[in-house]
Amino acid sequence: MSTLIRNAEIIPMTERDRHFRGDILIENGKIAGIGSIDRMADETIDASKMLALPSFVNAHTHSPMVLMRNYKDTCEELMSWLSEIFPIEDKLQDDDIYWGSKLAIAELIQSGCTTFADMYFQSWNTAKAVRETGARAVLGLTLFGDGEETKRRFREFVPRIDAEIGDCDRIRLDAAPHAIYTCTAETYTLAAEWTAAHPGHYLSTHLSETMTEVNDSLRDNKLRPAEYLDSLGIFSVPCYLAHCVHLSEGEAEMISRHSRASIVHNPASNMKLASGIAPIRKYRELGINVALGTDGASSNNNLSMIKDVNLTALLSIVSNMTPSAAKPYDILAMATINGAKALGLEDRIGTLEEGKDADILLINTDDVNMTPLNDPLSATVFAADRKNIDTVFCKGEKLLEHGILTTIDKDEAIARTNECWQDILRR
């Protein structure tokens, strides 16, 4: 099956501010040509009123937490919120995780995202949902507690997740110690050792999300959070670090010296939980790869990547008090190629180039909020909304066509997720 996307305004994300009118040929799940293409295909899409760019990469989320959307929204801060969430999570069963994951994937696709990095429990159910829906995911084996509990999770859960992944090359398993306040030093060490022993796999964790975390680490470890992880050798393996709101200048410089360490910015969640504003401009100036994540729908309260692209830009502007802090290309890079780099997938996705997987997003510009277009990058960052997300491909498969999901029964996912939530409340 071949598809020719004809006459789109292409934003390839291969170099700063580049865009051009052209065609994209998809064959066998790959981008087989880009530019001016004079040949026939099995399907031709008239994209003359479309922007074409790499589909978004959500580099940090907890997909089944859509179950807790709009729940306990007025807690004082992160720790009080977690005290409400953890008891619910103790009740979750396989069906809850599966249907929550499927609903989350539907929401991600509708916002232009095909790849997400997940950190949650019972990930074999999320793997099943990813495999069935055609999306792409890096699933974290979430680790809590001490070394014995961590060994048990590796021993019991990895084979079960691997069995569900099977031969699907759109899914990978990473080690995901939750945070320094829920995991012991031994758990982090075991996670790093597992990552080092499995080339191509990464480690993900929450880091320096709140000042409470920083102060508690100074009290308990006599080190700031990133310094503590460095003392455990965590940055010796490829890793992506969620939040990083309160890094010191020294911690940021330390992370910048590790080429395979990335920071994942979660602007909506950080604002909603009053965690603070991550100084991503400073991180980028230090040369740190900064990606973008939505976090979970219980602390966002949605998984809309196009919305978080816009929030990232506006928050960067107001926190630095200059519009130059949010150049559209840099914001889009966080949501595409930087996300791919953070997850170690930059050779496969993140840019529109011949030979890469055909993970492509088409944005409809023929609408009131996109007219006149003027600058396509600026329009994507500041004007586009979820209603403009027209068509989405993952590895050449069409997951969204003219705004309609093609691999997920949306009504069923909504109904089953609601059933699961009502059952959870009765447990």
d(CA 270, CA 37): 44
Q: Are 348 and 394 in contact (CB under 8 A)?
A: no
CATH architecture of 2-54+358-405: Roll (2.30)
Per-residue pLDDT band at 73 (split at 50, 70, 90): confident
> What's at 349, amino acid-wise?
I
What residues does each domain of the chain span?
2-54+358-405
Within 10 A of 7 (CB to CB), how many other CB atoms are there? 17
The tens digit of pLDDT for each residue in 309-341 reads: 999 999 999 999 999 988 999 999 999 999 999
The tens digit of pLDDT for each residue in 112-160 reads: 999 999 999 999 999 999 999 999 999 999 999 999 999 999 999 999 9
d(CA 414, CA 421): 11
The tens digit of pLDDT for each residue in 226-280 reads: 999 999 999 999 999 999 999 999 999 999 999 999 999 999 999 999 999 999 9
CA 135 to chain centre: 12
The tens digit of pLDDT for each residue in 343-390 reads: 999 999 999 999 999 999 999 999 999 999 999 999 999 999 999 999
pLDDT value, residue 81: 81
DSSP state letter for 66:
G
On the question of pLDDT at 75 being above 80, the answer is: no
| Mean pLDDT in residue range 154-183 | 98
pTM for this structure? 0.97
> What's at 183, amino acid-wise?
C
Per-residue pLDDT band at 88 (split at 50, 70, 90): confident
H helix or E strand, kind and range, residue 115 = strand 113-120
d(CA 312, CA 335): 10
Concatenated DSSP letters for 306-370? HHHHHHHHHHHHHHHTSGGGG-HHHHHHHHTHHHHHHTT-TTTSSS--TTSB--EEEEE--SGGG
3-class SS at 239? strand
